[in-house]
């Protein structure tokens, strides 16, 4: 299979950096997958980058410079995970082609790590894009605010914008607009799962009905 796997920073990076206990569980699973599949792994920023960003922001740098600092910090995560997995670190979108494997994170200002992962899925013609996050899937409304929020087992590409867009009024969001646009336009089968237990990744690939599936 051709797989793109996005690991949310909230799962794996705390204020001190990479969470050892999490990567000790995740890396053997990813190594097993890369031995039999073509994979690109994307990693988010987590608390470390957010705290660093807020600290530097108080010194008065403009938004453009701040965004470049965030991108460079994300590139540290790229190199770190690429070394762990013995995969190529990907630092530009132009590096990605249909045969690519590697690790990607921040690329340039104005693009989220989700968007870069979705773009990688498009370029390699991925069979499956899986996002590991800190919720069990996509809900009809924000589960942190509403106790009666209902998890959706499956949604269509055409419905994704209704539930998934980060930053849209009235939507709690789990993907940003750019990522959703790429997924919808290219009909990339996507599964959103709780990645707190990395073994859930294997369940998703095997079609065990975990998380929320996005397809036709």
Domain definitions of the chain by residue range? 2-215
CA distance linking residue 76 with residue 169, whole number of Å: 33
Q: How far apart are CA 192 and CA 211, in angstroms?
A: 5
CB-based contact 163:140 (threshold 8 Å) = yes
**What is d(CA 24, CA 18) in angstroms, rounded to the nearest whole number?**
11
Which of 64, 42, 50 shows the shortest CA–CA distance to 109? Answer: 64
Contacts of 152 (CB under 8 A, 6+ apart): 137, 138, 139, 140, 163, 212
pLDDT in tens, 133-146: 998 999 988 888 88
Q: Long-range contacts made by residues 23-29, C-beta under 8 angstroms, separation at least 24?
A: 23/84, 25/197, 25/198, 25/199, 26/198, 27/84, 27/85, 29/198, 29/199, 29/201, 29/202
Q: Give residue-wise pLDDT tens across range 16-65.
A: 999 999 999 999 999 999 999 999 999 999 999 888 888 888 888 888 89
What's the CATH number of domain 2-215, 3.40.640.10, 3.40.50.10260, 3.40.1160.10, 3.40.50.300? 3.40.1160.10
The predicted pLDDT at position 169 comes to 46
Q: What global pTM score does this model have?
A: 0.93
Tokens standing for residue 188: 């990339």
| Distance between CA atoms of residues 140 and 213, nearest Å | 14
């Amino acid at each position: 299979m051709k797989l793109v796997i996005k690991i949310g920073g909230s799962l794996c990076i705390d204020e001190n950096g990479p969470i050892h206990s999490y990567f000790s569980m995740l890396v053997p699973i990813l190594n097993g997958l890369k031995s039999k599949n073509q994979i690109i792994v994307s990693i988010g920023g987590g608390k470390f980058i957010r705290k660093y960003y807020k600290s530097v922001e108080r010194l008065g740098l403009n938004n453009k410079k701040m965004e470049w600092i965030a991108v460079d910090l994300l590139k540290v995560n790229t190199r770190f995970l690429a070394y762990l997995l013995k995969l190529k670190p990907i630092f530009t979108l132009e590096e990605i082609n249909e045969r690519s494997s590697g690790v990607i994170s921040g690329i340039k200002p104005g693009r989220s790590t989700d968007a870069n992962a979705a773009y990688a899925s498009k370029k390699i013609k991925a069979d499956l894009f899986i996002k590991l996050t800190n919720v069990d899937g996509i809900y009809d409304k924000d589960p942190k605010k509403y106790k009666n929020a209902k998890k959706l087992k499956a949604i269509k590409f055409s419905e994704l914008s209704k539930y998934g867009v980060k930053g849209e009024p009235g939507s709690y969001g789990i993907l940003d607009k750019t990522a959703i646009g790429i997924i919808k336009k290219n009909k990339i089968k996507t599964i959103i799962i709780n990645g707190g237990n990395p073994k859930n990744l294997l369940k998703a690939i095997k079609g065990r009905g975990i998380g929320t599936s996005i397809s036709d």
